[in-house]
Amino acid sequence: MSGESGDTKTTEFGKVRAALWPIHGYEMKKFLPMSFMMFCILFVYTLVRDLKDTLLVNAPGGGAKSIPALKLYGVLPFAMIAVVVFGKLLGKFGSRKTFYITVFSFLIFYAIFGFILYPIANNIHLSEGWIKNMQKSTPGLFYEIWPLIGNWSFALFYIISEIWGSLVISSLFWQFANQTTKKDEVKRFYGLFACVGNLGLICSGFFAKLSTKFESIRVLMQMTGVLIVGLIIVYLYYYVNKNVLTDPKFYDPSQIKAKKKKAKLSLGESFKAIFKSGYLLLITILVVAYGVAINISEVVWKDQGKLFYGSSSKFNNMMADLSIVTGIVTIIITLTCSNVLRKCKWKTAALVTPISVLILGGAFFLLIMQENNNGINSKIFGFVILELVVYVGLVQDAISKGIKYSLFDSTKQMAYIPLDSELKTTGQAAVEVVGGRFGKSLGSIVITVLGFIFTGRELSSLVNILSGVLFLVVFSWIFSVFSLSKKYETLKEQRHKEDLQQKEEA
């Protein structure tokens, strides 16, 4: 076999294996630990993500409305600080030591929370009466801040867990993968990394459901699972560095696909770059629209979930079900989306996400309106409306995320391809800064402002307004896809003609 000699050439696979498992036997020594590392990182991320929502939504004096406020006032500034600290660590210690420092810092916090802070939460948190009194004395924008202050360790756990997702998955793992994966491995390995990683969502969901059977030690069990799997992540990283990257058959710096250095733009420079280019503005609208739509529908769904399930353990079960369904849906869509991208036009593939969000989100909000009109115990199609709302919301959230991870992200990356090299570099950086930062925050701002205007009202009572915002955002998203598609096809044709002209001149 040619690959066994370290040659970059690979033998041809059959059609079925090329589609499902394009990995040579000798490559398993590298592929398995890297893919299992992705599995473990997503396992931890899913476990802490589900728990953070469970704790905050069911905290005394808290609720789903506390989530947008925490994302706006807590997650956003802490995430920006984390990126700066991460950059400083990389500059001082290099990538390998930074990996260990970052992962161990998270694990130390989770150990402190699970074994020290959570068991004494009732003693270190402020009472629900204090929270209610403070809300009465300072209504408006500060109304939802008091539950966060009162339940400060849960709020801190939420913030740290959000940062794990953005820092460890996006920066540490993919940075390591980009630095160690050879050119001929990239297309074969990366898709399977994602598929194996999504198995982590499924396993994490089942583990969370198992832990709810032991309510008195549920959080302790989950944090123990986080620590064990976290240590496995550290070991796998150590193993790859010691036993894989020291073997020229698996690692040759000259065979690593060179990554263009991304432009680092300030927030002001990013806005300037986007508004100078109508093309980039349209891509930014897509990114921001997804963030707003998923944020609004998710918060309302969690609010309905708390109302339906009542107890913390049952709510945790609901979040675990979401993780399991999301993992399964994402794997199925990932395995099939390549055919959609290959056989359909860019516009068709790009429209799948907003249309799915519109149909499923529309059904979800219509059910809540029906619930508001007829009462939560009324029935429709033989189901109690509130129960149906929770199930439809779960399916909507899972499908929206599954399509996002496959089709939405892929079509977004494809949209940059026809741009010239300079605009492609600066433009992508600008969209990531503005779209990534404001996409997640704008939905939180909408709910926070509505909470200020309608202080003390339940989220379900604001569903008419929120559904209007959702439809306005999704229709803007669809309009942007049509507009961007015309520009994309024109630019692609222009680049094709330029390439043909250069070949003729050569």
In tens, the pLDDT along 494-505 reads 877 877 777 776
Q: Worst-scoring range by mean pLDDT, 56-65, 149-158, 225-234, 491-500?
A: 491-500
DSSP one-letter code for 251:
-
| Identity of residue 328 | I
Burial pattern 125-157, b for ≥16 Cβ within 10 A else e, equals: bbeeeebeebbeeeeeeebbbbbbebbebbbbb
Q: What is the pTM of this model?
A: 0.85
Locate the DSSP E strands across 367-409. Answer: 379-380, 383-384
Q: According to the 3-state scheme, what is the secondary structure of 37-77? A: HHHHHHHHHHHHHHHHHHHHHCCCCCCCCHHHHHHHHHHHH
Q: Worst-scoring range by mean pLDDT, 22-26, 61-65, 75-79, 149-153?
A: 22-26
- Confidence check: pLDDT of 267 > 90: no
Which pLDDT band holds residue 49 (cuts at 50, 70, 90)? very high
Q: How many Cα atoms within 13 Å fall on the side-chain side of residue 434?
A: 24
Nearest to 44 by CA among 115, 109, 121: 109
Structure tokens at 226: 């986080």
Contact 337, 457 (CB under 8 A): no
- Confidence check: pLDDT of 4 > 50: no
- Hey, is 97 helix, strand or coil? helix
Nearest to 485 by CA among 359, 349, 354: 349
**Pairwise CA distance, residues 269 & 480, whole Å:** 23
- Confidence check: pLDDT of 327 > 60: yes
Across 315-338, average pLDDT: 88
SS3 content of the chain, % helix, strand, coil (to 5): 85, 0, 15
Kindly state the percentage of the chain with pLDDT values over 90: 43
Longest dimension (CA), the chain: 79
Nearest to 222 by CA among 206, 236, 198, 199: 206
In the chain, CATH 1.20.1250.20 sits at: 262-506
- Confidence check: pLDDT of 2 > 50: no
Nearest to 158 by CA among 62, 294, 40: 62
Class for domain 24-259, per CATH? mainly alpha
User: pLDDT value at position 10?
Assistant: 43
- Confidence check: pLDDT of 154 > 90: yes
Alpha helical stretches, state H, 6-27: 15-20
User: pLDDT value at position 3?
Assistant: 42
Nearest to 409 by CA among 421, 400, 418: 400
**Pairwise CA distance, residues 59 & 54, whole Å:** 8
Kindly state the percentage of the chain with pLDDT values over 70: 90
User: pLDDT value at position 264?
Assistant: 59
Alpha helical stretches, state H, 113-151: 121-124, 128-137, 145-150
DSSP string, 226-238: HHHHHHHHHHHHH
User: pLDDT value at position 304?
Assistant: 93
**Pairwise CA distance, residues 322 & 238, whole Å:** 32
Structure tokens at 216: 């008195």
Place of tokens 């609004």: 296
**Pairwise CA distance, residues 497 & 60, whole Å:** 64
- Confidence check: pLDDT of 252 > 70: no
Beta-carbon count within 10 A of 233 CB = 24
Class for domain 262-506, per CATH? mainly alpha
Measured CA angle at 75 (ends 37, 51), to 5 deg: 55
Spatial neighbors of 130 by CB under 8 A, at least 6 apart, are: 150
Across 49-66, average pLDDT: 92
Spatial neighbors of 255 by CB under 8 A, at least 6 apart, are: 8, 182, 183, 184
**Higher-confidence residue: 357 or 84?**
357
Q: Dihedrals φ, ψ of 444, to 5°?
A: -65, -40
- Per-residue model confidence as pLDDT tens digits over 343-396: 788 899 899 999 999 999 999 999 999 888 888 778 887 788 999 999 999 999
Structure tokens at 32: 């398995």
Cα–chain-centroid distance for residue 443? Answer: 15
User: pLDDT value at position 108?
Assistant: 98
Residues 370-379: contacts with CB within 8 Å, 24+ apart? 371/460, 372/460, 372/461, 372/463, 376/307
Contact 426, 265 (CB under 8 A): yes
Contact 323, 201 (CB under 8 A): yes
Across 109-135, average pLDDT: 95
User: pLDDT value at position 234?
Assistant: 96
Q: Dihedrals φ, ψ of 252, to 5°?
A: -135, 110
Average model confidence (pLDDT) for the chain? 85
| Identity of residue 307 | L
Contact 23, 190 (CB under 8 A): no
User: pLDDT value at position 437?
Assistant: 66
Measured CA angle at 351 (ends 346, 355), to 5 deg: 170
Structure tokens at 41: 């990182």
Place of tokens 């009472």: 127
- Per-residue model confidence as pLDDT tens digits over 419-443: 877 677 677 767 776 776 677 788 8
Across 233-258, average pLDDT: 80
Spatial neighbors of 42 by CB under 8 A, at least 6 apart, are: 169, 197, 198, 200, 201, 204
**Pairwise CA distance, residues 212 & 415, whole Å:** 44
